[in-house]
Amino acid sequence: MRAALLLLLASATALANGRPPITNGVFFAPGDNKTIFARTTFGLLVSHDDGCTFNWICEQDVGYAGQFDPKYRVAKDGAIFASTFTGLRVSRDNGCNFTTITSGIPAMWIDALDIGSDGAIWAATAESGMPNDVYKSTDNGATFAPTGMQSPTIWWKSVVATPSDPDRVYITGYQVAGTLPDGGMMQPAAHFVATTDGGKTWAESPLTGVMYGPTPIVYAMAAQPDEPSHVMMMSTGANPPQGDRLYRTTDGGLTFTEVLATTDPIRDVVYRDATHVIAATIAGGSFESSDGGATFVQMVNPPQLACLGQRSDGQLFGCGANWDPDNKAIAKSGDASTWSKVFRFVELNGVIPSCPAGSAEHDVCGPMWSALQQQFGAHGTSCSAAPDAPAPDNTVPPKKSGCCDASEPAGLVWALGLWFMLGRSGARARRRAPASS
């Protein structure tokens, strides 16, 4: 039994690049209330039927490998954009093939990505030892142009295009240490910069009073839907030993006020509307504000939220623990209070069936599916039950087919559950390195 368990753990670790298999990102296509994209430590999952069935896109198709988590954004026409160490990748055939965009944007590490309400695509680089810049596309990613933020010493870490004013965009950067022209030492520093004219001019915030962790990195997290000057910013590691600090600006970055200190890294911040804001963590609980982000209170029994996103219909989707304590790899809620299961790994349906021979999804991911299927005991779903039907919230659900109910071998659940709990601390720490995505 012990030898079998060790073999199982070795196999599972390999398939997740040394990390536990978890969901850690959720994304949607604008105006599409049926399609859900879920980032995982073993690739990208996609559902086009409101979570009833999920298919798997392997890392090799997207164009990355190792312990790396791409940032994804989806355009109005369904094009999927992904940041990688070797450039900005895009799929225009529903995930069958990803290609690197090379017109106007360098094939180097893209670390920040967002799409504005006008369809403009913003991407920024963070390559060590190279000039970095922020790039903009107004033709759905066919071509890009720099926006004048080139720097040989700043890694651009985040970009947020505000929902109500596509010309107002916020970026953050990490100034690495270096040698000044006069021989002195340049100290590492955080940067928060804004444009109100679509990237023609930029203004930097002084970040007065903002506290930092050992490495001064801040992220623009979210902008209020109807007020582009209201923005939430996170300072990573600023609440030792493992917590972050969340700041709010109501004047476009001129001043910041601390509104929350967490004991665990903040994974996502979401404005549900103009007044309700949620900050999600895994082990430190999650927090909700009812006054636009000025104050926060701890939520009651949310999932361990490794990600959080809101679809255009108002539904919240979060990345919970596939095994204990949530038994929900993806959960959803209409009110941020009650969460129901959308998906567990045992319900994976394989690679995208419509991708033809010759595509990366068919030729590369297809042969790899059998190993992943065995790892999770995945048997797919038949969608014979309604997508929103309740599922029993236990480790081994009854053997019942359907969209929201699935079974998995008890031994596999126990082994992977144990492995998940032992390895989760490593997943929490992935964002701490300055060069981490």
pLDDT tens sequence across 71-125: 999 999 999 999 999 999 999 999 999 999 999 999 999 999 999 999 999 999 9
pLDDT given for residue 382 in this prediction? 66
Using 50, 70 and 90 to split pLDDT, how confident is the model at 183? confident
Give me the phi and psi of 112, to 5 degrees please: -140, 140
Q: How many CB atoms lie within 10 A of CB 31?
A: 9
**130-157 in b/e burial notation, b at 16+ Cβ within 10 A?**
eebbbbbbeebbeebebbebebebbbbb
* Euclidean distance between CA atoms 127 and 111, whole angstroms: 9
Burial of 178 (0-12, 13-18, 19+ CB in 10 A): exposed
pLDDT given for residue 177 in this prediction? 79
Closest CA to 116 of 98, 134, 99, 97: 134
Mean pLDDT value of segment 319-348: 97
Q: How many CB atoms lie within 10 A of CB 356?
A: 11
**Residue matched to tokens 């990600």:** 307
31: Cα separation from own chain's centroid: 19
pTM, entire model: 0.86
Mean pLDDT value of segment 288-295: 98
**Rounded alpha-carbon distances, angstroms, from residue 256 to 67, 211, 317:** 33, 11, 28
Higher pLDDT, 7 or 310: 310
In angstroms, what is the C-alpha Rg of the chain? Answer: 21
pLDDT given for residue 394 in this prediction? 34
Is the pLDDT at 192 greater than 60? The verdict is yes
* Euclidean distance between CA atoms 421 and 16, whole angstroms: 15
Is the pLDDT at 434 greater than 80? The verdict is no
Using 50, 70 and 90 to split pLDDT, how confident is the model at 180? low
Q: Mean pLDDT score of the chain, rounded to an integer?
A: 87
Using 50, 70 and 90 to split pLDDT, how confident is the model at 238? very high
Superfamily of domain 2-431: YVTN repeat-like/Quinoprotein amine dehydrogenase (2.130.10.10)
Strands (E) in 55-143, as ranges, are: 55-57, 72-74, 80-84, 87-91, 99-100, 110-115, 121-125, 134-137
pLDDT given for residue 431 in this prediction? 36
Using 50, 70 and 90 to split pLDDT, how confident is the model at 149? very high
Mean pLDDT value of segment 50-58: 97
Is the pLDDT at 157 greater than 60? The verdict is yes
Is the pLDDT at 39 greater than 80? The verdict is yes
Is the pLDDT at 62 greater than 80? The verdict is yes
Task: Answer for the pair 382, 402: CB distance below 8 angstroms, yes or no.
Answer: yes
* Euclidean distance between CA atoms 230 and 227, whole angstroms: 6
Determine what percent of the chain is predicted with pLDDT higher than 90.
80
Using 50, 70 and 90 to split pLDDT, how confident is the model at 185? confident
Is the pLDDT at 420 greater than 90? The verdict is no
370-407 pLDDT, tens digit per residue, is 999 999 999 998 664 444 333 333 333 333 333 333 33
Is the pLDDT at 410 greater than 80? The verdict is no
Is the pLDDT at 338 greater than 70? The verdict is yes
pLDDT given for residue 201 in this prediction? 98
Higher pLDDT, 184 or 287: 287
Higher pLDDT, 165 or 407: 165
258-269 pLDDT, tens digit per residue, is 999 999 999 999
Give me the phi and psi of 61, to 5 degrees please: -70, -45
Is the pLDDT at 158 greater than 90? The verdict is yes
Is the pLDDT at 435 greater than 70? The verdict is no
Is the pLDDT at 200 greater than 70? The verdict is yes
